Structure 1
Amino acid sequence: MGVIDPELTRIPARKLTANALRQLAPSINETEDTPDLILHHGKDPISEYNNPDLIPGMYPTLYPFGIGGFDDKSRPTSLSFENQANYYLNLADKSFRYHYFFIFVILNMIQRRRAHLHTSFTVKSARFQLVAPSLTSLSSETLFDVAEVIENERTTASLTPDQRRALDLLRYINTIATKIPGSYAAKISARTEIRSYFSYFGLPHLFFTFNPSAVHSPIFHVMYGDKTIDLESRYPKVPLPAERVRQLAHDPVAAADFYDFAVKALFEHLLGWDYSKRASTERGGIFGRIRAFYAATE
């Protein structure tokens, strides 16, 4: 078949399927009862909680011995999911931070765990017990009507009692999403905290955007592991632009470490903030002594 039809365009699909089944089935001369390849499957999804074999099974190249998973109850000292993830990303062996998918999968699991944890707190609160009967009595038509009012920015003065209970549902949804990093509700929570600073400390005297560029900084490339850069030189030589971009994309953890280092250096050495005491130093910085500040990362 491969000689006269190398692209397999003239072979019916049923013949290809039958041939594949024959490859999986054991030979008639063998006594084995199982085929060469078995794909295990089931209708129940695998739990990501209290399952130390999950991550090592997903990434065998990162866990060649099949140990070191998360939520391992056999450890003498308990270790949280986030602390263990941070530990893996800061190992001298940078296989975890260089992996294409590990960081994104772990971040997604952390987001879901935070959502589940905060949902549990909200369900057990006294406020939810008061709102729950209203939520269960809402109809789909009521929700659609309220959605249309919000989308078209209409007045809420003429809402029916059921539609007002739907607005309570929206406030409840914002509450359970507040603790999820990167969510829109988390941004709303940050704005609320900033306004509370206004009430206690007064309006801020200074607003600025700090954007350290990792790709052009010799400090980042040293954090990445580039040993050709001499930071003691007045004008350190950095790699070519294409290589700088490649290093930045190759190690996002080093980029995050550089950003954290740059922000702390700014507040400690220019603005005179003591992170250990969580207060301004006696000498202060270029703008005097800081009473309070609020920083948000995009």
Structure 2
Amino acid sequence: MYPTLFPYGIGGFEHPDRYPSLSFQAQASYYLDLDDRSFRYHHSYLFVALNIMQRRAAHLQTHFTIRKSYFDKVARKLVAVSADTLESVANHLEHEGKYSDLSTDQQDALDLLKYVNTIAARIPGSQASKILCRNEVRSYYGYFGLPHLYMTINPNPAHNPIFQVMFGDVTVDLTKQFPDLVPGPERARRLALDPVAASDFFEFCVQMLFEHLLGWDYMHCKSAAAGGILGHLEAFYDFVKISFIITYLM
């Protein structure tokens, strides 16, 4: 699939003879951390790997729930419906067609939505996963009460010397208060070229903020004995994908 990334035809994913076995996600992530940054800079590898992982999650982590009283009725309809019927119904709804224009089979397929709930909370980025996050936050409210602090963290890697080092610029001297950096357009180009380094930079910033400013001990998953600038943390919940964090103080 990628002759430039696997020039010898070895090192592919999920090889049956590999011991110990390695999951697709772990291997795909490992390739992004190699010293050879060909995988990071490839024009499509990131997107294809993510697409495969999302498709697998959609197939393996999606479940249906129905009421017990409707089980027999829904089971018969669910087995009888065909993929072509579902596709035709989807196209009909996409073009805002009327319910009365559907055939009997199409109406039966659409009626299944009244009885079947789709559970897809474990699929990253799905609407159900966002609802799961909201429910977890509400659980925090019930257990800890309202948060004491809300934070939105948005570090800018383009102007940060640490990101330039993560990108691979060995000329940046982090011992200086104001290190010498390449011009702004080149920093922006680096950010666009290496989104993996940008992601690592964001994760690094969040972890350093909690560890050194707020006094959170990641190894023991509790507030450090010395605490932080706001005292001791009791708990926190972070939405890493949208940089939103709620924090509880002791």
Fold conserved between structures, TM > 0.5: yes
2: distance between equivalents of 1:99 and 1:137? 46
1: distance between equivalents of 2:59 and 2:13? 17
Asked if the contact 2:161/2:181 (under 8 Å) is kept, the reply is: yes
2: distance between equivalents of 1:86 and 1:221? 21
Q: What does the per-residue CA deviation read over 1:138-192, in whole Å, with 9 as the maximum and x for residues that have no partner?
A: 999xx99xx9xxxxxxxxxxxxxxx9973442xx22x1x2211112221111111
Distance 1:101 1:164, change over 3 A: closer
> Does residue 1:103 correspond to 2:46, yes or no?
yes
Q: Note the C-alpha offset of 1:115.
A: 1.5
More strand by share: 2
Asked if the contact 2:215/2:228 (under 8 Å) is kept, the reply is: yes
Question: Which of residues 277, 280, 284 is equivalent to 2:223?
Answer: 280
2: distance between equivalents of 1:75 and 1:61? 22
Would you say how many aligned residue pairs link Structure 1 and Structure 2? 214
1: distance between equivalents of 2:111 and 2:146? 34
2: distance between equivalents of 1:166 and 1:94? 46
Q: Map 1:132-211 onto structure 2 (within 5 A).
A: 132-135=71-74, 137=77, 166-169=113-116, 172-173=117-118, 175=119, 177-211=120-154
2: distance between equivalents of 1:109 and 1:293? 32
Q: Note the C-alpha offset of 1:202.
A: 1.2
Q: Note the C-alpha offset of 1:116.
A: 1.4
Residue ranges of structure 2 left out of the alignment (5+ in a row): 94-109, 243-250
Q: What does the per-residue CA deviation read over 1:51-107, in whole Å, with 9 as the maximum and x for residues that have no partner?
A: xxxxxxx11100001111111110120111111011100001000001010001100
| Structure-2 residue corresponding to 1:217 | 160
> Does residue 1:70 correspond to 2:13, yes or no?
yes
2: distance between equivalents of 1:165 and 1:98? 45
| Structure-1 residue corresponding to 2:247 | none
Q: Note the C-alpha offset of 1:222.
A: 0.5
State the SS of the aligned residue for 1:207.
strand
Identity of aligned residues (%): 50
2: distance between equivalents of 1:198 and 1:68? 47
Higher RCO (CA < 8 A, seq sep 6+) = 2
Asked if the contact 2:211/2:218 (under 8 Å) is kept, the reply is: yes
Q: What does the per-residue CA deviation read over 1:2-49, in whole Å, with 9 as the maximum and x for residues that have no partner?
A: xxxxxxxxxxxxxxxxxxxxxxxxxxxxxxxxxxxxxxxxxxxxxxxx
Give the TM-score normalised by structure 2.
Answer: 0.79
Distance 1:129 1:77, change over 3 A: farther
Q: Map 1:1-298 onto structure 2 (within 5 A).
A: 58-119=1-62, 122=63, 127=65, 130=68, 132-135=71-74, 137=77, 166-169=113-116, 172-173=117-118, 175=119, 177-296=120-239, 297-298=241-242
Asked if the contact 2:66/2:115 (under 8 Å) is kept, the reply is: no
1: distance between equivalents of 2:67 and 2:31? 41
Letter in 2 for 1:79: L
| Superposed CA RMSD | 2.5
| Structure-2 residue corresponding to 1:9 | none
The runs of at least 4 consecutive aligned structure 1 residues that moved more than 2 Å come to 127-140, 163-169
**Bigger radius of gyration:** 1
Distance 1:60 1:164, change over 3 A: closer
Q: What does the per-residue CA deviation read over 1:237-263, in whole Å, with 9 as the maximum and x for residues that have no partner?
A: 211110000000111111111011100
Distance 1:281 1:164, change over 3 A: farther
Asked if the contact 2:67/2:115 (under 8 Å) is kept, the reply is: no
Asked if the contact 1:272/1:290 (under 8 Å) is kept, the reply is: yes
Residue ranges of structure 1 left out of the alignment (5+ in a row): 1-57, 148-162
Q: Note the C-alpha offset of 1:228.
A: 1.9
2: distance between equivalents of 1:129 and 1:93? 53
